């Protein structure tokens, strides 16, 4: 299998993840809106799911675009690390929220109760892991742009 063929695995994985996260994120809002519960939470959650999918698609386009502009292959292990860090970070951010909503977390809280402190820390760790994934992408782009190798 050629290196050019392997260069499309990462953008394809980003596009598939965008579809999966968007579909999973839009399912609860579609069901709630169908029941006439078109509240602020439903609309905000829908916009959050759509923006997350758009962000994942932008990463897919960035990988395709960087490869076309530079005409050099990117490092697959760095791209895979970026993908893994972003998926883990997004999952750590979103999963506890869904579980807490199912267990009775109200829509609006003025102050977070101590019972939810652990899950708040888990979600904060997800933000840190996502930031590490973003910095990995920046490092990949810098390494790729400074690389002297070219393919025709």
1, two tokens: 């299998």
Q: Per-residue pLDDT for 1 more than 60? A: no
69, two tokens: 């502009």
Q: Per-residue pLDDT for 38 more than 90? A: no
Residue 152 covered by a domain: no
Question: So what's the pLDDT on residue 150?
Answer: 55
Residue 140 covered by a domain: yes
Residue 98 covered by a domain: yes
Question: So what's the pLDDT on residue 42?
Answer: 66
Q: Cα(115)–Cα(151) distance, rounded to whole angstroms?
A: 56
Q: Which of 90, 55, 75 is nearest to 139 (CA)?
A: 75
pLDDT, one tens digit per residue, over 56-105 is 899 988 888 887 777 777 788 888 899 999 989 988 887 777 667 666 66
Residue 132: which domain range? 3-146
Please name the residue that has the structure tokens 């929220």. 97
Residue 95 covered by a domain: yes
Q: Per-residue pLDDT for 152 more than 50? A: no
Residue 115 covered by a domain: yes
The whole model's pTM is what? 0.75
- How far, CA to CA in Å, does 26 sit from each of 33, 47, 52, 105, 130? 10, 9, 11, 20, 21
Q: Per-residue pLDDT for 107 more than 70? A: no
Question: So what's the pLDDT on residue 148?
Answer: 67
pLDDT, average across residues 29-37: 62
Alpha helices in the chain (DSSP H): 3-6, 9-34, 40-70, 76-102, 117-146
pLDDT, one tens digit per residue, over 51-63 is 888 888 999 888 8
Q: Cα(18)–Cα(150) distance, rounded to whole angstroms?
A: 30
Mean pLDDT of the chain: 78
Q: How many structural domains is the chain composed of?
A: 1
Question: So what's the pLDDT on residue 132?
Answer: 96
Residue 138 covered by a domain: yes
Residue 151 covered by a domain: no
Please name the residue that has the structure tokens 């690389």. 147
Q: Per-residue pLDDT for 124 more than 50? A: yes
Residue 105 covered by a domain: yes
């Amino acid at each position: 299998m050629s290196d050019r063929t392997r260069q499309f695995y990462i953008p394809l994985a980003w596009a598939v993840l965008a579809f999966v996260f968007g579909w999973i994120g839009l399912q609860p809002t579609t069901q709630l809106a169908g029941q006439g519960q078109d509240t602020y939470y439903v609309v905000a959650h829908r916009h959050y799911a759509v923006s997350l999918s758009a962000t994942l698609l932008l990463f897919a386009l960035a990988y395709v675009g960087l490869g076309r502009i530079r005409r050099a292959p990117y490092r697959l292990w760095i791209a895979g690390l970026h993908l893994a860090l972003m998926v883990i970070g997004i999952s750590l951010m979103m999963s506890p929220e869904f579980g807490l909503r199912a267990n009775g977390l109200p829509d609006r809280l003025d102050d977070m109760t101590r019972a939810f402190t652990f899950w708040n820390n888990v979600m904060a760790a997800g933000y840190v892991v996502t930031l590490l994934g973003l910095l990995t992408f920046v490092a990949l782009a810098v390494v790729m742009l400074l690389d002297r190798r070219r393919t025709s």
